[in-house]
Structure 1
Amino acid sequence: MSGAIKDLHEVFILEDEDPYQSLRLLGHGGWGSVDEVMKKGDPTKECYARKQVILRWGPQRQEMIEQLREEARIIHRLCHRHIIKLIGTYTWTTLFGIIMVPVAETDLQQFLSQIDSMGNGEQGDQAREHLLSWTGCLLQGLDYLHEMRVKHRDIKPSNILIKEGAVYFTDFGISKIVPEGLTTGTNGPFGPMTRAYVAPEALKDDARRGRAADIFSLGCVFLEMGTALIGPPGSRERFRRFREEKTGTVAYAENTLVILQWIWHLWGHWFVIVKPTPRPKDRFARHGAALPDLAFLMLDPNPDHRITSRQLVALISTPKLYYFGSVNAASCNGCQISPGSEDNNLPLHSEFKEVNDLEYPKTAEQALKVLVAPDWDAAKRKWLQCHMWW
């Protein structure tokens, strides 16, 4: 552990009680729990999020300590408006605590579940407005992680926190730093993971896994966000059932053709809304259409052909790609990029065909009954005007 982290670590040995007071439970898992805490005797009464793990005696105790220290070290080296911040770490008897900010109000998993049951009233519209704004912020946050040579490796809705209308990547428990001079791929078992959102290559122990795996996971998240923006209430749960009924699993990596069919389904909803004279209330579906389009580029089963975070940022800030510009324009002030000319040193990964050249399903329901393409490459030929791998 670096010297900087040691300076942030406190050891409480003789105290009869935990120096931090727990205020409420925020979440829990097999590794421990996260709660809101306040340091006892602190006159500021400032609140923090604490990840706490009980260190059991045994041969794996030191290994667990080193893993927690590595997690703290990764968080400490990151400084971004959409990534949680490390305050410090401490040990007391058998407890190891990681103290962080902010204390979340909720997470994206719960937020999307709430939207799924909402109608199109004022409350639902406000929630969907947030989804539009968070897309560019999450892209910028992931691009920063990858620029800092950090692979998150467990991106999913429950690992994206929400506080006062802003989103934050959290839970770097299985993240890795890519050493300078090495490729971003790693071999061997993936370790603890959420199977539903992992990339296809992460399900193969002998495959190399680089930062492209994070792109796939965030693409899964974007497809669920786009479903909430474009589809009617209940669509996200319907999408989950649709995957499970088709293949027996909800895992995106094992539902390649089902994902294509669902994107086709969302296009069916979008086409019905946008083709006639658009109404102001339909702005969520109009701008939200960028999310399944982005997800299509992010969910390519071939990691070598998958779009990168830097290419994604270029995609939403290129003036000629006006339909992606809404993602950039809706982002928070810190994440908006002034649209400029295309960077010749960073050619665009892909461009979709013009709207008039694209084929749409007659109805959204028909899209769920007719296979749009036999495989991913066939869908790319059908939907994309150009692609950097052609």
Structure 2
Amino acid sequence: MGDWTRGWTRVGQTGPTQHYGRVWEAERELQELTIIESWNDDDSWPGFDADIGCAETTKLAKLEDLGYGAFGRVEKVSYGSVCLARKRIPRRRGFTIDDLRKESLTMQKLDHRHVVKLVATYAPRTHELCLLIWPAAVCNLSTLLEDLEYLRMGEGDREDILERLDALDIKDLSAIEQSSEDQLLHSTTKCPLEFLRNTIGCVARALAYCHQNDVRHLDIKPSNILLKADRVYLADFGVSRDVSGQDQTMTEGVPGTERWRAPELYANNGSSMQLSDIYSLGLVFLNIATVLYNVRLAEFDEALRYPSRNTQEEQLREREQKLNTHLEKLTSHALVTPPFMFTYEGQETVRPRPVVNLIARMITPNPKNRLHAYKIDDKLSMLGGIHQIYHGECCKRPISWVEDKWDKKLTALMSLRKENDRLKQKIAELEGRDRTYESRFQREVDEHKQAVVMLQKKLKDMEDRCHTLEADNAKRRSSTIDAGYASGKASLSAMVSVLSAYPTRAEGLTTTTTSRLNATSE
């Protein structure tokens, strides 16, 4: 254990600080680029116009194998004091050396601090093309993410991992290994999580540069992002497209690696190459965020895995659901991870904020809803807070840029506040009118109810009056009939009396009349 842990106080600086390390690395890069420029005057340097079958210069010394890719083998070589990566691309049947030079033509037009630089090409044999690329990286992003996972889990070859991290100038492992003895001694060096956060913005800046120069990468994935101490590079332009002068920048077919490929590339109607790059970059950011927010990489791998025994449409839909579930989990983890513990998604603050919501916009299935690379770069500068934690020192915006952005946000906020006040006043007026209308309506309803009650009462009175009139009418009719009957009977009786005075002829008539009277009486 160091003197500090024994109670001693260290005076002075025993090693390079993070700032001096960055300056030294930047100076070394400039020196190497100056040396590379001088090689054009070296007769043994192949350059870009070497004839096919030219002998490999003896100044190129192979140091080690770096790996194998889909399009060739990569070796670490040195030319003088400068280390390079040599990519050997075998010529496949039906292709010529000029076809293989396609990648070199694309790379030659790119000159950016975060894009690997093609410094020479040559064809030592008729069936092979060699690309000399600067710089030779320590490892790729995929390897670093796995190394950090192994350290957290206490797995893997620790010595090998620490050697790589040391080459990347990552010595403060306190965020990964809480029991690390060196966490106090190396507190001035870069933390691996800080390195990962810086990588996000620098890669976004590199892709924005490529797109602005009409280059579409089409195979963005962690293994194509190379790392050195305080440096990150976008590499492997083997399937990239130069769309300069093209009105349509759509691609057909399925370029790239399936695991990192945008879903629209499986459609038959073509797709935007720019927006397909954004989807792949979003998955890379999701991979980084999984480690940043302390979630297992196995869960990320499962989210990316396509289910078997389903149709392609079902596979894409199910993977989208798994990615959304993974994003939700990262959101909950991010808000309890420093330095995001006191922020929340959508909050306007100068503090750093998580990138989960931005990633969700990058990997949305609908390409039209994705942001362009330059907007992603701007968003990351704002999400990184006043210290721009998602960019390295090389890519941090000037403080004046941040001030301008916040001034615009505050101006927009004030404008929104005024508009909000105006709308509040309008709503209050409308609510007042609404209350007036409701009061008037209620009054009319009450008046209507009263009118209905009065009409119902009048109707009842009229019905009662009708019943009374009908009863009176019935009585009156009955009295009239009885009076008529009595009068008729009296008249007949008088006639009978008269007729009875004439016994001869009136006997029969009298009998008949009497019978009728009796019948009538009955």
Q: TM-score, normalised by structure 2?
A: 0.55
Aligned residues of 1:197 and 1:252 also touching (Cα < 8 A): no
Where do residues 267-346 of structure 1 align in structure 2 (5 Å cutoff)? 267-273=331-337, 290-318=354-382, 323-325=383-385, 328-337=388-397, 338-339=401-402, 340-341=404-405
| DSSP-derived class of the 2:78 partner | strand
Change (3 A) 1:271 1:93: closer
| DSSP-derived class of the 1:211 partner | helix
Aligned residues of 1:246 and 1:258 also touching (Cα < 8 A): no
Cα displacement string for residues 190-248 of structure 1 (whole angstroms, at most 9, x for unaligned residues):
34x2100010111224322320000000000001111101124xx11222135549778
Q: Residue in 2 aligned with 1:82?
A: 114
Does structure 1 residue 231 correspond to structure 2 residue 290?
Answer: no
Match of 2:220 among 155, 160, 164: 155
C-alpha distance in structure 2 between counterparts of 1:112 and 1:172, whole Å: 22
C-alpha distance in structure 2 between counterparts of 1:273 and 1:123, whole Å: 16
Change (3 A) 1:182 1:89: same
| DSSP-derived class of the 2:273 partner | coil
Aligned residues of 2:50 and 2:122 also touching (Cα < 8 A): yes
Amino acid paired to 1:92:
P
Sequence identity (%): 27
Match of 2:201 among 136, 160, 183: 136
Does structure 1 residue 222 correspond to structure 2 residue 248?
Answer: no
Cα displacement string for residues 284-309 of structure 1 (whole angstroms, at most 9, x for unaligned residues):
xxx88623222111001001111111
C-alpha distance in structure 1 between counterparts of 2:117 and 2:361, whole Å: 30
Using the TM superposition, give the Cα deviation of residue 116 of structure 1 relative to its aligned residue in structure 2, in angstroms: 1.4
Amino acid paired to 1:269:
H
Change (3 A) 1:273 1:30: closer
Does structure 1 residue 112 correspond to structure 2 residue 136?
Answer: no
Match of 2:173 among 119, 123, 140: 123
List gaps (5 residues or longer) in structure 1.
279-286, 349-390
Using the TM superposition, give the Cα deviation of residue 176 of structure 1 relative to its aligned residue in structure 2, in angstroms: 0.3
Aligned residues of 1:316 and 1:327 also touching (Cα < 8 A): no
Amino acid paired to 1:51:
K
Paired residue total:
317
Q: TM-score, normalised by structure 1?
A: 0.72
Match of 1:27 among 60, 64, 67: 67
C-alpha distance in structure 2 between counterparts of 1:315 and 1:327, whole Å: 14
Amino acid paired to 1:119:
R
Aligned residues of 1:197 and 1:253 also touching (Cα < 8 A): no
Using the TM superposition, give the Cα deviation of residue 123 of structure 1 relative to its aligned residue in structure 2, in angstroms: 2.1
Rg larger for = 2
| DSSP-derived class of the 1:81 partner | coil
Aligned residues of 2:380 and 2:390 also touching (Cα < 8 A): no
Match of 1:164 among 217, 229, 233: 229
| DSSP-derived class of the 1:28 partner | strand
C-alpha distance in structure 1 between counterparts of 2:219 and 2:306, whole Å: 25
Query: Quick check: 115-124 or 172-181, which moved more?
Result: 115-124
- CA RMSD of superposed structures (Å): 3.4
Greater relative contact order, per chain length (Cα 8 Å cut-off, separation 6+): 1
Aligned residues of 2:216 and 2:273 also touching (Cα < 8 A): yes
List gaps (5 residues or longer) in structure 2.
1-39, 41-45, 154-170, 176-190, 343-350, 413-522
Does structure 1 residue 72 correspond to structure 2 residue 104?
Answer: yes
Q: Residue in 2 aligned with 1:36?
A: 76
Where do residues 251-270 of structure 1 align in structure 2 (5 Å cutoff)? 255-270=319-334
